Structure 1
């Protein structure tokens, strides 16, 4: 019997990276997992002997499958009830210590990525997040390198203009999150308002299935009263708010009987919450399971 250790399957070896690409491309845990399943079927039926660079082959496959799925997903989102927000992803607390990783998968960044065209989104992610060269991206997308350079520059400027820098101090963010949870749990309107920036905006995604504001809410008073109003509803009885690492940053996990029913992520600026994103759609909570990992 041979003692030789079998070679690891490249798909299994790179699955974390592949999921990271698909999730950032699609903003959906469910769609990303579907793309990985399709990629596995493609990989499993491929002539392995003809594939010189398995990792490059898999990245190309996942990127292009994501582009195809994104085109159809955008059509569906045009008829979505209320604001469409990306699916939240419960990540390892360690991810929050890596500033670049946390920012690249934060809800704020995912929302900005939605404003890019599909190809721009792919080029930006492959270049700025995963570090691929323009030449490598040209090969993945089957486009001239000069075109990829132009797209990369345009996408980078687009993101930079729409994603200003906010506070990234982890300890400060955790402190503010805990104070916000305490204020909400206690129904303290003034305390909630003190933690919100005067020009705060809140978006909530209920998908037409649960209570959610169908338009963005503006202003500390309006946002605070809406949040406390939702928590005071009879159906909110037994809901618990707790800190959790969501999309690489400290956020709030809402649970009922130990089951996730929503997530809140936000920007922090000058010690206050500036932008809030509530994901409440029950169809978009499968990423709120422990043990997720991202590259």
Structure 2
């Protein structure tokens, strides 16, 4: 029986065929934002004595439904930057998350910090598409690709001068990952097959990565204690979406979370 992740990927493949007919692979290279120099997503996550926050623009999810009815991506992107986010993740999957590539384009024209396209990427076309709509990095989910396919997507990212955050769910995903060809590893604490969240499982997987890897914890994070847990376990960054999206002012929520975290680690020392 297909799980929600399988259904999302199946829908992605079907939608991709339609998009390719409307906008060809070559057409993407002629779009206005395609020649925009890429910002250093990896560098933005490497902060001294801190956990970098990747704040997410996310309208809905399969498990929670509509998260933010008053959804204005331009305003949210600006608030995130003003609140001190190191980078912004933009969900572009439409069927399951009510995302859009247009949200990515809007954010790209509004802020100066790096942007991550978060989607279910299975084809190099989507990597080039990310570049054409203003992304500086792409999320690549190991569990929906095989070893060869993941390498192909990493090669496409390099070709288009984008960085890649490779996301894992379990130890099985790490068995065929070639760490020599990547330098940002994430673990989604939420299993998209069951939607269960386990922050400790995510950190344990990240700690098995090579020493020079930039490490990102994703999903289920909402307070300063969560950030402190990541900090104490040498995790570089936290990707946080739903918590911020449910606040009246997402950017203010970023600033407050950063301040609360700073107070915690100051007390430690």
Normalising by structure 1, we get a TM-score of 0.25
Normalising by structure 2, we get a TM-score of 0.26
Greater C-alpha radius of gyration: 1
